[in-house]
């Protein structure tokens, strides 16, 4: 008995002592503006054509966690076919529609995994994602049971310039057409760059700038001649500069401030925010990240000891998600890398598949680092969608967005919460009581 009490006191003491260390942060200046969107906003209610809707569904009485950081208590959500048409209270249900009573439940956006393996995606690097997806892959149901309704499939990446193939896929079980949301909205490159690679990148940027100027001059002439074509080899760079694709930047070896600053230098050269992939020490220079409009994919469970002589700028920090978010940086969480964790992507390669079954754990670790629960939900919803360049369609409960939502029996990040129903594109694709995973477990 005494041994158990002593152990408990040691554990509690360790937790208490850990908090101040994890909250370390250098002084910062005025927060920079949040990263700009590179996708159009969802269409307003006035632009949605109600006359073409074939099926209406009104979800009533749930607490709506919108994914934006806001919560509407005992609210209502109106879905027409595959879109959200209205959010509020006292909503009118069109004739012939059905009501789903959700009193005592929580509705949130479906979780967005920024990177995942399997889950119906094609193997290798197909020409088109739709050519290889499998809408009947059984792992889709496993992911839906965990709340994942869409994810980034990153097939390959670039090196010294933006390149690669990617897709944002939905877990629309049984619906081939509904699985592919968009393709190639993510391109990748790596740092550090050697002097020759930097010069090549600068030359490519200059060619793109000259091309954009020529296109503008051509448009001003208003003649019928063909518009200038991009110089060969700059097409993907042009997509990044035009904000048609997100640029993810990783680092060879361990991320440190030198590598982060080099990635931010790329952002300044391109005049567009980039996505830092697992930056270990961005917590120590958050204002520099925010100043470029960049975002970050963070593994909050990553542990690395600081250099004893440079504790303010080295090592991991459990509070990194909070620190970056408070400075205006959009953050998405991802799973641990290496060992038995199945790499930095959600999938079935973890210990007993736990990285697939519990995506909310990483967001919960962000809360452990001081992030507010509602903001932490954004790391799995709206901010994750922004990092994939898909925020105009998914990631939050907003009028005009896709009806991808979860009906839960508790707070979205609580360890005891189960997904009761998952809806993708307005269709029920998972019901807890009808699937083998958790139907035998009550709350």
Q: By the 8 A CB rule, do 397 and 382 touch?
A: no
**b/e sequence 27-61, b meaning 16+ C-beta within 10 Å:** eeeeebebbeebbeebeeeeebeeeebeebbbbbb
Q: Which of 128-142, 271-285, 343-357 has the highest mean pLDDT?
A: 271-285
pLDDT tens string 53-78? 999 999 999 999 999 999 999 999 99
CA quadruple 341, 328, 109, 414: dihedral sign: positive
Question: What is the pLDDT at residue 350?
Answer: 59
The pLDDT mean for the chain works out to 85
Question: What is the pLDDT at residue 355?
Answer: 72
Q: Distance between CA 87 and CA 368 in Å, rounded?
A: 31
The residue ranking higher by pLDDT, 415 or 109, is: 109
- As given in the structure block, the two tokens for residue 351 are 């210990």
Name residue, tokens 């519990």: 358
Question: What is the pLDDT at residue 351?
Answer: 54
pLDDT tens string 14-31? 333 333 334 444 444 434
- As given in the structure block, the two tokens for residue 1 are 């008995």
- As given in the structure block, the two tokens for residue 213 are 């100027």
Q: Which conformational region is residue 253 in: left (phi greater than 0), alpha (psi within -120 to 50 degrees), or beta? A: left
Average pLDDT over residues 37-55: 70
- Find the farthest-apart pair of alpha carbons in the chain and give their distance in angstroms, rounded: 88
Question: What is the pLDDT at residue 29?
Answer: 40
Question: What is the pLDDT at residue 254?
Answer: 58
Question: What is the pLDDT at residue 40?
Answer: 55
Average pLDDT over residues 310-318: 89
- As given in the structure block, the two tokens for residue 289 are 């990240």
pLDDT tens string 136-160? 999 999 999 999 999 999 877 778 9
Question: What is the pLDDT at residue 16?
Answer: 32
Q: Distance between CA 122 and CA 282 in Å, rounded?
A: 33
- The pTM (predicted TM-score) of the whole model is 0.87
Question: What is the pLDDT at residue 221?
Answer: 86
Average pLDDT over residues 383-412: 96
Question: What is the pLDDT at residue 372?
Answer: 93
For the chain, what are the domain ranges? 35-434
- As given in the structure block, the two tokens for residue 76 are 């209502």
214-to-218, 228, 397 alpha-carbon distances in Å: 6, 7, 41
Q: Distance between CA 128 and CA 142 in Å, rounded?
A: 25
111-to-30, 127, 380, 401 alpha-carbon distances in Å: 31, 27, 5, 14
Question: What is the pLDDT at residue 342?
Answer: 44
- As given in the structure block, the two tokens for residue 183 are 């393709």
- As given in the structure block, the two tokens for residue 60 are 């009533």
Helical (H) or strand (E) element with 140 = helix 138-145
Q: Distance between CA 406 and CA 105 in Å, rounded?
A: 10
pLDDT tens string 416-433? 999 999 999 999 999 999
Average pLDDT over residues 210-214: 94
Question: What is the pLDDT at residue 429?
Answer: 97
pLDDT tens string 338-394? 544 445 567 766 554 457 788 888 999 999 999 999 999 999 999 999 999 999 999
Average pLDDT over residues 265-276: 97
Question: What is the pLDDT at residue 43?
Answer: 59
Q: Determine what percent of the chain is predicted with pLDDT higher than 90.
A: 65
**Coil, helix or strand for 4?**
helix
Q: Distance between CA 105 and CA 374 in Å, rounded?
A: 17
User: Among the listed ranges 39-53, 69-83, 259-273, which one has the minimum average pLDDT value?
Assistant: 39-53
164: number of CA atoms within 13 Å, CB side?
A: 25
Q: What is the dihedral of CA 368, 369, 375, 381, to 10 degrees?
A: -80
> Among 3.40.50.620, 3.30.450.20, 3.20.20.140, 1.10.238.10, what is the CATH number of 35-434?
3.20.20.140
pLDDT at 128 over 70: yes
């Amino acid at each position: 008995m005494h041994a158990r009490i002593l152990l408990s006191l040691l554990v509690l003491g360790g937790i208490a002592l850990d908090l101040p260390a994890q909250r370390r942060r250098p002084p910062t200046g005025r927060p920079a503006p949040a990263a700009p969107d590179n996708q159009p906003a969802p269409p307003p209610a006035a632009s949605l054509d109600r006359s073409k809707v074939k099926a209406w569904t009104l979800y009533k009485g749930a607490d709506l966690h919108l994914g934006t950081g806001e919560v509407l208590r005992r609210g209502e959500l109106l879905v027409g076919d595959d879109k959200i048409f209205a959010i509020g209270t006292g909503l009118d249900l069109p004739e012939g529609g059905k009501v789903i009573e959700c009193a005592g439940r929580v509705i949130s956006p479906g979780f967005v995994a920024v990177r995942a393996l399997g889950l119906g995606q094609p193997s290798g690097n197909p020409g088109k994602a739709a050519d290889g997806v499998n809408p009947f892959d059984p792992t889709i149901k496993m992911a839906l049971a965990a709340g994942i309704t869409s994810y980034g499939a990153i097939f390959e990446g670039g090196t010294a310039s933006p390149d690669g193939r990617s897709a944002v896929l939905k877990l629309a079980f049984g619906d081939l057409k509904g699985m592919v949301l968009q393709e190639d909205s993510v391109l990748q490159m790596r740092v550090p760059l050697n002097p020759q690679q930097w010069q090549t990148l600068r030359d490519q940027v200059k060619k793109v700038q000259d091309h954009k100027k020529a296109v503008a001059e051509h448009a001003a002439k208003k003649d019928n001649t063909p518009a200038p074509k991009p110089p060969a080899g700059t097409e993907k760079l042009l997509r990044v500069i035009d904000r048609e694709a997100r640029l993810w930047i990783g680092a060879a070896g361990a991320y440190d401030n030198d590598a982060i600053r080099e990635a931010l230098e790329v952002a300044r050269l391109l005049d567009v925010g980039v996505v830092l992939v697992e930056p270990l020490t961005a917590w120590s220079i958050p204002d520099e990240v925010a100043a470029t409009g960049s975002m970050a994919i963070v593994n909050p469970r990553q542990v690395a000891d600081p250099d004893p002589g440079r504790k303010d700028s080295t090592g991991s920090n459990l509070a990194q998600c909070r620190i970056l978010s408070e400075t205006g940086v959009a953050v998405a969480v991802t799973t641990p890398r290496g060992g038995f964790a199945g790499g930095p992507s959600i999938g079935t390669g973890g210990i007993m598949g736990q990285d697939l079954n519990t995506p909310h754990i990483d967001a919960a670790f962000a809360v452990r680092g001081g992030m507010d629960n509602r903001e932490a939900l954004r790391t799995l919803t709206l901010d994750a969608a922004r990092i994939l360049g898909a925020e105009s369609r998914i990631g939050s409960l907003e009028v005009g967005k896709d009806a991808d939502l979860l009906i839960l029996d508790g707070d979205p990040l609580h360890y005891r919460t189960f997904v009761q129903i998952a809806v993708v594109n307005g269709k029920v694709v998972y019901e807890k009581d009808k699937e083998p995973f958790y139907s035998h477990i009550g709350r």
